[in-house]
């Protein structure tokens, strides 16, 4: 089984993000490669042939993000990988993934699925419905999953995205649309989520939280607080309240 880990990161970005990545990967002895992100600010979205004419509503940062993920998909196909683990550079390990991934990647479910989230969110005021497949592996049966912070994809998914979703038509984490387009057959998630998000400002101008959550994240990034309080302010508690486990 051929498998690689790619971390999408702007090459000229503030080094704090790449330092964070290296530190965590070293701690868990995890092999990875940086995938230099596409800088959306350098793109003329009205003239760039990589962007679909119906996607000009996207912000420059969102376009760069989508193109960066697409470049990872191209690498998976070009390098004939069976799977790839894609990280964005604001991830944080909440647990050691080694044993979890070994079990999951060797299961039949992962071999026939196309996307497995290690972190996921959804829209404000919405919930995700999960049904246990085995162990800590769940299928997403309801709701609209968001986020491309950490996920595993198959070569089949990558080939479909290259063939049918280029020029780019939407943001990198528009999974509901990809499902509607039959680019994905199923979405799975590890739960409890083994990956979280670090406190870095968004590089794509995206605000996935409501006003109260954004204020909480702002305060927690500037005030020393107990970890439990920080978790509440950073939306970790409200995120768990968005998960519904089906019988």
243 within domain boundaries: no
| Percent of the chain scoring above 90 in pLDDT | 61
- Token code pair at residue 20: 């964070």
Calpha distance 68→55 (Å, rounded): 16
pLDDT tens figures, 104-115 = 776 655 666 689
Q: pTM for this one? A: 0.84
In this model, does residue 228 exceed pLDDT 50? no
Does 116 reside within a domain? Answer: yes
Q: Going by C-beta distance under 8 Å and a sequence separation of 6 or more, which residues neighbour residue 216?
A: 232, 233, 234, 235
CATH number at residue 150: 3.90.550.10
Q: How many residues does the chain have?
A: 247
Number of domains in the chain: 1
CA distance 237 to 179: 28
User: Per residue in 152-162, pLDDT tens?
Assistant: 999 999 999 99
Of the CA atoms within 13 Å of residue 246, those in its CB half-sphere come to: 13
The domain in which residue 163 lies consists of: 3-205
Q: Is residue 152 part of a domain?
A: yes
* Helical (H) or strand (E) element with 60: helix 60-78
Dihedral (Cα; 170, 185, 95, 135), 10-degree rounding: 160
């Amino acid at each position: 089984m051929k498998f690689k880990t790619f971390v999408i990161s702007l090459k000229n970005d503030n080094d704090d993000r790449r330092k964070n990545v290296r530190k965590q990967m070293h701690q868990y002895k995890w092999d990875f490669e940086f995938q230099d992100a596409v800088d959306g600010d350098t793109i003329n979205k009205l003239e760039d042939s990589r962007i679909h004419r119906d996607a000009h509503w996207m912000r420059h940062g969102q376009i760069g993000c989508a193109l960066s993920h697409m470049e990872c998909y191209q690498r998976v196909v070009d390098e004939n990988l069976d799977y790839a683990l894609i990280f964005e550079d604001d991830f944080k390990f909440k647990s050691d993934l080694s044993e979890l991934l070994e079990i999951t990647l060797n299961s039949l479910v992962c071999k026939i699925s196309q996307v497995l989230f290690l972190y996921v969110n959804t829209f404000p005021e919405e919930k995700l419905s999960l049904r246990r497949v085995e162990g800590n592996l769940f299928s997403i049966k309801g709701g609209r999953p968001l986020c491309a912070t950490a996920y595993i994809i198959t070569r089949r998914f990558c080939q479909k995205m290259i063939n049918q979703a280029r020029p780019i038509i939407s943001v990198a984490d528009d999974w509901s649309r990809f499902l509607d387009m039959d680019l994905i057959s199923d979405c799975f998630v590890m739960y409890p989520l083994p990956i979280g998000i670090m406190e870095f400002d968004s590089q794509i101008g995206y605000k996935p939280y409501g006003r109260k959550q954004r204020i909480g994240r702002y305060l927690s990034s500037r005030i020393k607080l107990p970890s439990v309080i920080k978790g509440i302010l950073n939306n970790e508690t409200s995120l768990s309240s968005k998960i519904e486990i089906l019988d």
